[in-house]
Amino acid sequence: MTTTVQPAATAPRATRSAAPTSTGSRFTRVLGVVALAMLCLQLALALVISPPDVLQGDAVRLFYLHVPMAITGGYLGVGLLAIGSIGYLWKRTAFWDLLAASAAELALLFTGLTLVTGSLWGRPVWGTYWEWDPRLTLTAVLFLLLIGYRAMRSATLDPHLRARRSAVIGLLAAADVPLIRLSVDWWRGLHQTATINPLDTALDGLMLFTFFFSMVTFAVIFVWLLVHRFRLAWLDEQVAAHSLEDAIAERRAEAEAAGSPGPTGSAGATGSAGASAASGPGSAVATAPAAGTTHDGGAS
């Protein structure tokens, strides 16, 4: 009697603990709900509750969007890109490469939105959408470097070479961020100097709170997106590695069926760039995802 009940009782539990069917997890779901709630409050604060500025009027509401976007994309996004790039050049594992690539894509998105929202804010405040101001120009350079980073990753097939080149471009992009930060102090331009000085801020209480709350909100959204994007990159690596294994197994089976003595040569040839990369210097990237603990731990 008990032997028939036991499997039925354990079966649903086994089904429930099956592998995930998306990049989501309990952690990302909780973080996503928190991010959404914070975003709703941020919109209420930025668009309705906070007062208009004495000089800028309601145009200041773009400040709560533009500056957090710039700081999140520039400092958090490019900072993680730099950490991932250094980590890859040092450790040569796929984890760091995937972290850098995921952060770079988000930095590209946030930097692009920084340029757009900055232009839309500049038109009513400065009277122009764009000016070749040092900070604006250097931000545009950062945006182009991040596009170059992405284009290079798409164009390079060898995973090891791709990761190494990416790391170099990533560090180049990261070197631009201090220049963006200091450009308003070094050169005279249209862009104002640092808006928030912890020792002497011109913002009143509610405006200051709205600004800092917006910063935290966009940082939380960034982290939530980063976890999903990292997991997607990890899955991409797994698919590439898995399809390569399948191709080799298929060729091996073909060779055995044909009665030829050794499949290793033909398998390597069939796998082309990917196969040779997996067994050559690129194996750190192509096969390292199999060390799941590193990836999983880093992603969450």
Partner 1 sequence: MTNAGYIAAGYGITAVALISYVWRVLARGRRITAHVPEERRRWM
User: For binding to partner 1 (CB under 8 A), which residues are involved?
Assistant: 18-25, 27-28, 43, 47, 52, 57-59, 61-62, 65-66, 69, 109, 112-113, 116-117, 120-121, 123-124, 221, 225, 228-229, 231-232, 235-236, 238-239, 242, 289-290, 292, 296-297, 299-300
Q: Based on CB atoms, which residue is closest to partner 1, 65 or 104?
A: 65
- Nearest distance in Å: CB 191, partner 1: 17
Task: Compare residues 151 and 290 and give the one whose CB is closer to partner 1.
Answer: 290
The nearer residue to partner 1, 30 or 269, going by C-beta atoms, is 30
User: Residue 61 or residue 191: which is nearer to partner 1 going by CB?
Assistant: 61
Instruction: Say how far apart CA 90 and CA 98 lie, in whole Å.
Output: 14
Minimum distance, C-beta of residue 116 to partner 1, in the bound complex (Å)? 6
Q: Of 214 and 270, which has the nearer Cβ to partner 1?
A: 214
Q: What are phi and psi of 53, to 5 degrees?
A: -75, 150
- Shortest Å distance, C-beta 24 to partner 1: 8
Residue 18 token pair: 């099956």
Q: Report the distance separating Cα 289 and Cα 284, nearest Å.
A: 9
Cα-atom radius of gyration of the chain, to the nearest Å? 25
Instruction: Name the CA dihedral angle for 287, 146, 216, 297, rounded to a multiple of 10 degrees.
Output: 10
Contact 183, 134 (CB under 8 A): yes
**163 phi and psi angles, rounded to 5 deg:** -65, -40
Smallest distance, Å, CB 20 to partner 1? Answer: 6
Give the shortest CB-7-to-partner 1 separation in angstroms: 20
Contact indicator for 102, 229 with CB cutoff of 8 Å: yes
